[in-house]
């Protein structure tokens, strides 16, 4: 077996944990089936798995456009310009249109791991106008919430020298494992580290876990005491800004939840460069519940055997 230059090491993130809990086979496709695709000649199963791994849904893509537009808002602010809601919306819409063209027009094929490739385009499923209208409304409402919600005024007024992280992928160690963290915004205000997460979906209980992980990350990265961390979930689409109280007991729970999840992932982790795959260890336990929306439904036996309730077209992947 050809060895990759880099090793397939166990790592953890809140989204990886959700994926694993949804379906172990999905986790295998995403983390192991595509491993080493960049060395595969000629292109084959690894490449195919990587293409499916990079599929995104319309709501997730729309949310990503909001995140990137806000990141651009901060870049403009650092240059001394402040975009209003309409200007932010125009930025987000431009990102959406660019990504849409890349996905629908096949431009993603040049660099599938770095491009927008919508699940709906891949599986040739119709996207009703109501859904694109809803995406547009989400871009607009999110832009308004960011630029106009009174509770986000301190964010908008923050000075660039107070910013500690903006959409920066980073990691820290927990239970001896690399844990990824990408806080949307971390900045200092009156001696407190404010961490804000932009959300374009509905409030979910698991959002609190994600924010708790950011508090652990801030402690590991900057040594910020927990009583100097403030966590905020900004539900931009819903126009709601919620504080998540931080206390030691809750953070112990967050740490314990992450540790349990890491242990579950560690039990199955293997190095596909040097070990054989035992698919029995990665059952299709998400089927049929999770198959309809799973990006691997076109190649996975769990869906293809007919118990997945979807995944009709295999598309170009
Ligand atoms: S298609 Fe279904 S069984 Fe297969 S990985 Fe996805 S959720 Fe799991």
The span from the CA of 303 to the CA of 294, in Å, is: 9
Residue-level pLDDT, tens digit, the chain, 317 residues: 455 578 999 999 999 999 999 999 999 999 999 999 999 999 999 999 999 999 999 999 999 999 999 999 999 999 999 999 999 999 999 999 999 999 999 999 999 999 999 999 999 999 999 999 999 999 999 999 999 999 999 999 999 999 999 999 999 999 999 999 999 999 999 999 999 999 999 999 899 999 999 999 999 999 999 999 999 999 999 999 999 999 999 999 999 999 999 999 999 999 999 999 999 999 999 999 999 999 999 999 999 776 444 443 443 33
**Which atom of ligand 1 is found nearest the CA of 284?**
3
3-state secondary structure of 84: coil
Is the CA virtual torsion 95, 98, 101, 104 positive or negative?
negative
CA Rg value for the chain: 20
Q: What is the DSSP string of 231-269?
A: EEEEETTTTEEEEE---HHHHHHHHHHHHHHHHHHHHH-
Beta strand residue intervals within the chain, DSSP E:
11-12, 163-166, 170-174, 177-181, 185-189, 192-199, 229-235, 240-244
Binding site membership of 25 for ligand 1 (Cβ less than 6 Å): yes
pLDDT at 243: 96
Residue nearest to atom 2 of ligand 1 (CA): 291
Indicate if ligand 1 lies below 6 Å from the C-beta of 298.
no
Distance of CA 295 to the CA centre of its chain: 14
What is the number of residues in the chain?
317
CA of 109 to the centre of ligand 1 (A): 24
Q: Nearest CA to 247 among 271, 221, 225, 270?
A: 225
Strands 163-166, 177-181: parallel, antiparallel or unpaired by DSSP?
A: unpaired
Give all domains of the chain, ordered by start, each with its CATH number.
58-148 (no CATH), 160-265 (3.90.320.10)
What CA–CA distance (Å, rounded) separates 22 from 264?
A: 13
Distance 302 CA to ligand 1 centre (A): 5
Q: Classify residue 107 as exposed, middle or buried by CB count within 10 Å of its CB (0-12, 13-18, 19+).
A: middle
Residue minimizing CA distance to atom 7 of ligand 1 = 291
pLDDT of residue 233: 98
| pLDDT in the model for residue 305 | 76
Quote the pLDDT of residue 304: 77
**CA torsion angle for 84, 151, 143, 208 (degrees, to 10)?**
150
Give yes or no for residue 297 CB within 6 A of ligand 1.
yes
Amino acid 306: pLDDT: 61
Q: What is the pTM of this model?
A: 0.93
SS3 299: coil
Residue 237: the pLDDT is 97
If we measure between CA atoms, which residue out of 304, 299, 303, 294 comes closest to residue 315?
299
DSSP H/E element including 72: helix 58-78
- 287 pocket-lining for ligand 1 (C-beta < 6 Å): yes
* Cα 26 to ligand 1 centre (Å): 5
């Amino acid at each position: 077996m050809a060895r990759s230059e880099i090793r397939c090491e166990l790592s953890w993130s809140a989204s990886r944990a959700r994926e694993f809990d949804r379906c172990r086979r999905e986790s295998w496709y995403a983390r192991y089936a595509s491993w080493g695709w960049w060395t595969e000649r000629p292109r084959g199963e690894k490449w195919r798995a990587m293409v499916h791994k990079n599929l995104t849904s319309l709501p997730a893509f729309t949310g990503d456009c909001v995140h990137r537009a806000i990141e651009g808002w901060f870049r403009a602010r650092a240059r001394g310009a402040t975009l209003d809601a309409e200007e932010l919306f125009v930025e987000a819409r431009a990102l959406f249109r660019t990504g849409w063209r890349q996905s629908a027009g096949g431009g993603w094929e040049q660099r599938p791991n770095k491009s927008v490739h919508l699940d709906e385009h891949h599986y040739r499923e119709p996207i009703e106008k109501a859904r694109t209208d809803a995406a547009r409304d989400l871009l607009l409402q999110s832009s308004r919430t960011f630029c106009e919600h009174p509770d986000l005024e301190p964010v908008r007024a923050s000075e660039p020298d107070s910013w500690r992280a903006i959409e920066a992928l980073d990691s820290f160690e927990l239970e001896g494992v690399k844990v990824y963290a990408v806080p949307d915004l971390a900045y200092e205000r009156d001696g407190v580290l404010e961490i804000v997460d932009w959300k374009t979906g509905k409030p979910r209980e698991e959002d609190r876990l994600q924010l708790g992980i950011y508090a652990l990350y801030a402690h590991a990265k900057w040594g910020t005491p927990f009583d100097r961390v403030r966590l905020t979930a900004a539900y931009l689409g819903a126009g709601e800004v919620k504080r998540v109280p931080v206390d030691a007991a809750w953070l112990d729970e967050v740490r314990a939840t992450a540790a349990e999840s890491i242990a579950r992932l560690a039990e199955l982790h293997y190095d596909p460069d040097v070990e054989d795959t035992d698919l029995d260890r990665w059952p299709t336990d998400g089927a049929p519940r999770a198959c309809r929306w799973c990006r691997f439904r076109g190649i996975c036996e769990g869906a293809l055997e007919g118990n997945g309730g979807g995944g009709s077209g295999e598309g170009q992947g």
